[in-house]
Amino acid sequence: MAGCLQVRNRQLTALQVELAGNEKNHRLLAKNPTYMITRFDPDFRRVYVSPSCFELLGYTSEELVGKTSIGIVHPDDWSLLDATLNAPLRSGQQRARGTYRAIRKDGINIWLESSGQRLAAGAG
């Protein structure tokens, strides 16, 4: 019995080390200032925005969560983004991509490329 517990303890320790490494990698990706990770609900309202949004757009995560992309996407590019990214995902396509101008909080226009992927069970 003691041998089984020792094996189980080593397995648990290995899983904890792996989990800590995965968490470290997730935090690195989420905070990388060149990539902004966003999760949208099925109505395209943000439910999560990585902290890197501040470096990219000048907004804090709290300022973006709960809102749609209207107001950040340049008005002249909204229909293009909707056609290339939102509409395909809405219609059931698993992945889509769109390139558009965004308006930073300071009013400067920047070009962004967004890739979207549908989440299982209507999770966004």
Within 10 A of 49 (CB to CB), how many other CB atoms are there?
24
Alpha-carbon torsion angle 61, 114, 20, 28, nearest 10 = -70
Please give the CATH topology (third level) of the domain spanning 33-122: Beta-Lactamase (3.30.450)
Q: What is the pLDDT along the chain (124 residues), one digit of tens a residue?
A: 777 778 778 887 877 877 777 777 767 666 655 688 999 998 889 999 999 899 999 999 999 999 999 889 999 999 999 999 989 988 989 999 999 999 999 999 999 999 999 888 777 7
Tokens describing residue 8: 């189980």
pTM, two decimal places? 0.69
Kindly list the domain boundaries of the chain, sorted by start residue.
Answer: 1-31, 33-122
What does the pLDDT read at residue 7? Answer: 77
Contact, 35 vs 29, CB < 8 A? Answer: yes
